[in-house]
Structure 1
Amino acid sequence: MADVDPDTLLEWLQMGQGDERDMQLIALEQLCMLLLMSDNVDRCFETCPPRTFLPALCKIFLDESAPDNVLEVTARAITYYLDVSAECTRRIVGVDGAIKALCNRLVVVELNNRTSRDLAEQCVKVIRGAEPAGGVDILL
């Protein structure tokens, strides 16, 4: 699994119904590991370019049927991109409805559910990270 090519990873990220959710979750976890363990930003961005992967990640948030566990890992992957490069903020803000979808998830957070709480924390990190590119201004 460690050697999944970027095209396959992207294809799996774009799955999202029924059993395909499992493949989507595997792809998300793999992407998180790639981003987290990368010691070379340029090589990481060549392998999983933000211009391609961030819109795919943001679109997962636009799927109202996406479960919290998938969204939490999705938000974590987005924050990893933001941690690596502040330039990624404009790619997130550029996906119509992405910031609003993140905020909507905060409205329905279940504080007694750990996954839901973790999702809320990740959403806040993404929203704060998107602030330099006008992320909050989109909501006003």
Structure 2
Amino acid sequence: MEKKIYEDYKYSMQDTARLYVGAKYTFRELLDEDEISFKFRLIMERYILPEADREDTLETHLYYLAPDSFLVKIYKQMKARVKVNVIEEKKPFFGGSRGRTAHVPEKRYVTKQLTVEELASVPPADKERQGYVIQELSVSKLALLGL
């Protein structure tokens, strides 16, 4: 059986204000990636990694983050935001339903930007039910300099 490596959502980008990191990186890959800001990698190694496993993905780490965790405070200091896809039901429009007999709600993925505090406040069971898919973590460059 051929082992396939999932490379989607393994990226890093920067603009003038923020650093964006794909959520499929494992912590080991993050620390080895030269394209990612040194300061970000240093914070990950010093503060986040002692409470995580090197083989965990950033996605898994953020998905199961406890709301009362010290790590949430660190992410808050970095002004971190998480891009998440969530399944949302689109309410049917009852006004112009010519020829239709049933109004079935349409489910679709919607992309949302959440703070880490907002993401951590949702219990994992609710995340599973709502179909959360974490795409990326973004942090403020200015906040990184302050840590």
TM-score under structure 2 length normalisation = 0.22
Q: Indicate the structure with greater strand content.
A: 2
Indicate the structure (1 or 2) with the bigger Cα radius of gyration: 2
Q: Flag the structure with more relative contact order, 1 or 2, with Cα contacts below 8 A and sequence separation at least 6.
A: 2
TM-score under structure 1 length normalisation = 0.23
Q: Indicate the structure with greater helix content.
A: 1
